[in-house]
Every structure is written in C-alpha cells, then in structure tokens.
C-alpha cells in the first residue's frame, strides 16, 4: 500500500493531518514545544486573544473532578499587541498551521481583533470563541444566543478571507441551530465543543472549590457529550466540524472522526502527556494501515447507524 494520506481539507484550510492542539491548553506553543514536535501535527490553536491583555481570574482557578477538571482561567492572555510582538515570532518559525483563537466582550472587539490579526501572514485561520460574556448586553454569553453567534460570524466574515471556525458552546439545548447559523453567515467550519459549565463544592467549608464558583468542565468526562454534539451537527447541517472534548488518545480521535469530525483538537490531555498529539498522529496512521484506509478523510462521518 502506498503512503497513507492523513491530509484534511476544511474549506480553504488544508491540514497535514487532523490533529490540532486546542485553545487554552498549549499557550502560544513555546512551552509545549520542549516536549513535542509541533511540526508533526495538523496545527495549533492559540490561547484566546483579546484586544487588550487580560489578567484572568483570581485563584483558585482549577480543580480536578472525576476523569475531568473544572477551569475558570478567565481568558488570561497577553492581548493582541503583545501577541504579535512576542508570540508570533516563535509561531512563525514553525512549519505548522497556526489558527488564532479570538475572544471578546463586544461585537466591535471581535471585529477589531480579526482586522488587526488578519495582516499576520503566519495566521492561517481564525477560531472564534463565542463562550465569552457580552458586557454590553448584561454579561450573557454570546455563544448561548443564536442571534449573536450569527451576528459575530457575519461581522468577522467581512474582515477576512481566511477560514473562520466558530467554536460552539455545548451549554445550549440545540447545538445544530448554532452550526446552521454559522454556515448561513459564511463561516467555514465549527468546532465543538467548548467546556461545559460545572461546579464543585467543599463539603466541610461549604464553599465552591474554585473562586469563580462555576467553571468549564473538560477532559475524558465530557467525551460522550462532545461526541453526541458532533453527531447532532453532522446529521443536520452540512458544515465541516472540528471535534473537541476529552480526547486522550488516537482511539478517541478516530471515534470523533467516525461521528463526523473532519479534524480534532486535543485539550486537557496535553497537561498530562504533552507529547500526546504526536502519539495520536502515529496512532491514526497505524489504524489506517490496519484497516486498509488509504485516505483518512474517508473516515469522516462514516458511522453505521
């Protein structure tokens, strides 16, 4: 058999393989590069960037839960200006696809961020994090309101011809409605899922274990939910999906591709095994070999129900 083809195409976005690193779980790439070969994976999604630097939430920001963790980092990041000056030079040197994740508190801020970052040649695509509070509208989460997700997609679309991926919140009754509006407003793909809202309390002090009271649940505990969300989108909307949620190894990655993900992102697993993404790439290749699969893209949505 000839060399197995691991490449994936998502609209105009070409990936050398389906394995991406999830936003917020690899910083801006430099620390994790000591453990793993970033040139070997499909791409890196950088930590959510906002227009101005954000200090983030006070500690305690994280707590472990059964097969998962809650985080309330509060989108701590260096801001667009420092990102360009100090983080892009490292990312530029890599032979890796860089997807820039953007977070904002107003519609205008999303637009401004994309406008500025669009000039950076090293950024191949944008991932829009809509799981942020809308400060002008009572702090409700943008991503939980289908109208806002539509408006954001439409507005950033006007600012760039680079691929736009909208990262969907799972904390909604029907995620496929959100995927549909992204498609209608010209988004190239959706990624699913961001973290699920959760909390944990200390039974002796009766206080929340994280200062923010609630946080985002991630890790293997959320995988079944994430798979169901990806499947729901796949069955209702014709848009490429990037699957995220609890992927710990190549088997999990394959499972996501079968239910409909064109590519996958590895998040929490990086904290435990910072080389896991490279191991997943190897595992995908081996799986394809053993199953006589020539093009990995043929797996996408290949479920038998």
Answer for which of 8, 63, 244, 263 binds other proteins (CB under 8 A) is: 63
Residue 130 interacts, among ligand FMN, other proteins, none and using kind-specific CB cut-offs from 5 to 8 Å, with: none
* Closer Cβ to ligand FMN, 48 or 97, answer by number: 48
Residue 277 in the binding site for ligand FMN (CB under 6 A): no
Beta-carbon count within 10 A of 226 CB: 26
Q: Is 113 tagged catalytic?
A: no
* Count of residues near other proteins by CB under 8 A: 35
Residue 73 in the binding site for ligand FMN (CB under 6 A): yes
Residue 67 interacts, among ligand FMN, other proteins, none and using kind-specific CB cut-offs from 5 to 8 Å, with: other proteins
* Closer Cβ to other proteins, 140 or 213, answer by number: 213
Q: CB of 220: closest distance to other proteins in angstroms?
A: 5
Residue 67 in the binding site for other proteins (CB under 8 A): yes
Which residues of this protein are in contact with other proteins, per CB under 8 A? 24-27, 31-32, 34-35, 47, 55-56, 58-64, 66-69, 71, 73, 76, 219-220, 248, 268, 270-275
Q: Would you name the residues annotated as active-site residues? A: 132
Which residues of this protein are in contact with ligand FMN, per CB under 6 A? 22-25, 47-48, 71, 73, 75, 101, 129, 167, 194-195, 218-219, 222, 244-247, 266-269
């Amino acid at each position: 058999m000839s060399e197995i083809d691991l490449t994936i195409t998502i609209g105009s976005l070409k990936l050398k393989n389906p394995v991406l690193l999830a936003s917020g779980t690899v910083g801006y790439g430099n620390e994790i590069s000591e453990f793993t070969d970033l040139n070997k994976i499909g791409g890196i999604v950088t930590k959510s960037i906002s227009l101005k630097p954000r200090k983030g939430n006070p500690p305690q920001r994280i707590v472990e839960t059964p097969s998962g963790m809650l985080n309330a980092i509060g989108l701590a990041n260096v801001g667009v200006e420092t990102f360009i000056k100090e983080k892009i030079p490292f990312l530029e040197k890599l032979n890796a696809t860089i997807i820039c994740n953007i977070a904002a508190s107003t519609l205008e801020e999303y637009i401004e961020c994309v406008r500025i970052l669009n000039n950076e040649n090293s950024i191949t695509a944008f991932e829009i994090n809509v799981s942020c509070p809308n400060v002008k509208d009572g702090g409700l989460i943008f991503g939980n309101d289908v109208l806002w997700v539509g408006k954001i997609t439409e507005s950033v679309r006007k600012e760039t011809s680079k691929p736009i991926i909208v990262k969907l919140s799972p904390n909604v009754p029907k995620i496929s409605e959100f995927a549909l509006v992204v498609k209608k407003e010209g988004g190239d793909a959706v990624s699913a899922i961001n973290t699920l809202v959760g909390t944990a309390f200390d039974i002796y002090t009766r206080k929340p274990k994280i200062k923010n009271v609630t946080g985002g649940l991630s890790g293997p505990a959320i995988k079944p939910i994430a798979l169901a969300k990806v499947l729901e989108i796949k069955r209702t909307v014709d848009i490429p999906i990037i699957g995220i949620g609890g992927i710990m190894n190549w088997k999990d990655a394959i499972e996501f591709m079968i239910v409909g993900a064109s590519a996958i992102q590895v998040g929490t697993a990086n904290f435990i095994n910072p080389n896991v993404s490279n191991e997943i790439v190897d595992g995908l290749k081996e799986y394809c070999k053993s199953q006589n699969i020539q093009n990995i893209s043929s797996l996408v949505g290949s479920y038998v129900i």
